[in-house]
Amino acid sequence: MVATASTAPTADRGHEGGSDATHSVAMVDGVRPILEVRSLSKTYGDARVLDAVDLEVGPGEVHALLGENGAGKSTLIKIVAGVVTPDQGSVTIDGEALHFGSPQAAMRIGVATLFQELSTVGGLSVAENVLLGRPTPSRLGVVRWRQLNDRARELFTMLGQDIDVTQDADRLSPVGKTMTALARALSQESKLLILDEPTAALTDAETRQLFAAVERLKDQGIGVVYVSHRLEEVFGIADRFTVLRNGEKVDEGDLRDTSVEGVIAAMAGRPIEAVFPQWEAAPGQIALTARDLAGRRVRDISLELRAGEVLGVAGLAGSGRSELLRLLAGATSPRAGSLTLDGGAYAPSSVGHAQSLGVALVPPERRSQALFPDSVERNLNASTIDRLARARFVASPRREREHAKRLWDELDVRARSLDQEALTLSGGNQQKVVLARFLALRPRVLLLDEPTRGVDMTTKTQIYALIRRLAAAGTAVLVVSSELVELIGLCDGILVMHEGRTAGRFGRGEATEEELLRVCYGRAA
């Protein structure tokens, strides 16, 4: 176990009452774990969602909790957070037994949880949100605002952040809200931090901010449970990992001793080769070309995309990957260069114009860029509502329903009904709704920006199969992905970008993950 002995608590505080009072405390390399989970089990009805799961997290360790949707991750972290009571098992925090079913009790013994949907208290400042629930500095009933604000600034400084603590917390960006939650955890002297998909709403730059802050928390001996579907990020921030499948722990270890492929195989319960579809490449005529294309970041990019081809785009954050797709989709106007579509000049003035010409872009952030706070049906029909209208431009409810149901079936969307609000679906099913919405346009060229971000392995496998089916039917597909294994397993070829330019090109089977990463960093192919 990765642990920082110098920062590890050494005093045995024992246990305070409850049925877990006899629980023994394990020692690893002479250091007691911050979190110790033993034989944790939970059943809902006939479904056993956790089956005798063990987990340890050391001081100063980031421990990745991995698994597909339904593997038991959410139930496990809710138990540790004090939200859910297990059927059996025990949890201790720094040797102190957790009393289940009480988030307040979990917080009192040092557990801080940042769930995926972060919230702030509106009408209160950042400083007030950070110190919410803590004693407020005051004299004779008058709040000492300078002292309050200074304390909040100290906490942000510990995280390496410079945030205006006097502003209304509701004005914060997603990463600002995340940092506020981390500062609150520090103010509560938390020993264990649970991060549930913390980068789901963050940009690449914001993700780097978060990781820098997490490193500072590690230096203070705080243990971190990190839940994420983004494996490239996991390997960048975590020390150890545990994989759950069908409620059971199936793998664990040091991330330095495994690979993305190994983790995927453990999560899926099958070799990585089975995750990606097998296919025979049969590219057709050139569908889309770019010649010496330039934008704000993109410089002199040239490419050819053929009908029936899946072309991947790799690169580090800031390399220009997403901007390239926006230039091709009419979302951004090029500063130089030319485009052709099916052999003719192509100069889309907007995303809508590009869609009318047969080019569709699926954006990377589904919640903020692609989904509406409306029903599944309305979201599925959003891109094609005009085609469903009858005389006098009045939509037919029956046709809308039938169309949405057809898309629902094609993409295997799992929802209670078409009337369910789309934003309440799981991440994987939200992504299916987004894909179905744009596929309804029947595009000749499909541009996918991080199409599997934040979804479980089963859904990823379904999306991979869908992409290859589209290619087999003649659709030209361009895929941007941060997961290099994904590009290797899915694409006919890979274009690598570095600082806005083409740094390398690879055909199918020509590149390993290590080779791609080297080129991403600007080293020769």
How many Cβ atoms from other residues are within 10 Å of residue 258's Cβ?
Answer: 17
What 8-state DSSP symbol labels residue 125?
Answer: B
Answer for the pair 422, 375: CB distance below 8 angstroms, yes or no: yes
Cα–chain center distance at 158: 25
Q: Which residue has the tokens 């009408």?
A: 123
Q: Which two tokens stand for residue 302?
A: 């040239």
**Domain assignment present for 364:** no
In this structure, are 115 and 212 located in the same domain? yes
Q: Which domain-ending residue is among 239, 273, 307?
A: 273
In this structure, are 263 and 319 located in the same domain? no
Q: How many residues would you count in the chain?
A: 525
Q: Which residue has the tokens 């917390």?
A: 169
**Domain assignment present for 363:** no
**Domain assignment present for 199:** yes
Q: Which domain-ending residue is among 230, 245, 273?
A: 273
In this structure, are 16 and 103 located in the same domain? yes
**Domain assignment present for 365:** no
In this structure, are 149 and 185 located in the same domain? no
Instruction: Give dist(CA 287, CA 444) in Å, integer.
Output: 8
Answer for the pair 388, 403: CB distance below 8 angstroms, yes or no: yes
How many Cβ atoms from other residues are within 10 Å of residue 137's Cβ?
Answer: 16
Instruction: Give dist(CA 130, CA 111) in Å, integer.
Output: 16
Q: Is 289 helix (H, G, I), strand (E, B) or coil?
A: strand
- At residue 290, the pLDDT reads 97
Q: Which domain-ending residue is among 171, 204, 239?
A: 171
Torsion sign across C-alpha atoms 337, 342, 343, 346? negative
Instruction: Give dist(CA 64, CA 241) in Å, integer.
Output: 5
- At residue 296, the pLDDT reads 92
**For the chain, what is the domain count?**
4
- At residue 162, the pLDDT reads 82
For 245, phi then psi, to 5°, come to -145, 125
Instruction: Give dist(CA 377, CA 396) in Å, integer.
Output: 13
**Domain assignment present for 279:** no
**Domain assignment present for 226:** yes
- pTM of the predicted model as reported, rounded to 2 decimal places: 0.65
In this structure, are 185 and 266 located in the same domain? yes
Q: Which residue has the tokens 């002995």?
A: 5
- At residue 94, the pLDDT reads 92
In this structure, are 41 and 135 located in the same domain? no
Q: Which residues of the chain have pLDDT under 70?
A: 1-30, 116-120, 122, 133-144, 385-395, 524-525
Q: Tell me which residue range forms the domain holding 151.
A: 122-171
Contacts with 449 (C-beta within 8 Å, 6 or more apart), sequence order: 321, 322, 325, 361, 362, 363, 364, 480
Q: Which two tokens stand for residue 385?
A: 């509502």
For 300, phi then psi, to 5°, come to 55, 45
Answer for the pair 439, 412: CB distance below 8 angstroms, yes or no: no
In this structure, are 193 and 63 located in the same domain? yes
Concatenate the DSSP letters of all residues of 126-169 into one string: HHHHHTTTSPPPEETTEE-HHHHHHHHHHHHHHTT----TTSBG
Answer for the pair 90, 23: CB distance below 8 angstroms, yes or no: yes
Residue type, 158: M
Q: How close are the terminal C-alpha atoms of the chain, in Å?
A: 36
Answer for the pair 408, 380: CB distance below 8 angstroms, yes or no: yes
Instruction: Give dist(CA 250, CA 240) in Å, integer.
Output: 14
In this structure, are 210 and 90 located in the same domain? yes
Answer for the pair 238, 64: CB distance below 8 angstroms, yes or no: yes
For 141, phi then psi, to 5°, come to 85, 0
Q: Which two tokens stand for residue 414?
A: 């799992």
- The closest alpha carbon to 459, from 270, 210, 229, 204, belongs to 229
Q: 152-167 pLDDT, tens per residue?
A: 888 888 888 888 888 8
Concatenate the DSSP letters of all residues of 430-478 into one string: HHHHHHHHHHTT--SEEEEESTTTT--HHHHHHHHHHHHHHHHTT-EEE
The DSSP element (H or E) to which 53 belongs, if any, is strand 47-57
In this structure, are 15 and 163 located in the same domain? no
| Strands 35-44, 88-93: pairing kind | antiparallel
Q: In this structure, what is the dihedral angle of CA atoms 101, 105, 106, 111, given to the nearest 10 degrees?
A: 160
* CATH, residue 220: 3.40.50.300
In this structure, are 34 and 86 located in the same domain? yes
In this structure, are 323 and 294 located in the same domain? yes
In this structure, are 140 and 183 located in the same domain? no
Angle between helices 204-219 and 174-187 (to 10 degrees): 10
- At residue 25, the pLDDT reads 39
Residue 302 φ/ψ region, left for φ over 0, alpha for ψ in the -120 to 50 degree band, beta for the rest: beta
**Domain assignment present for 222:** yes
Q: Which residue has the tokens 């992504």?
A: 431
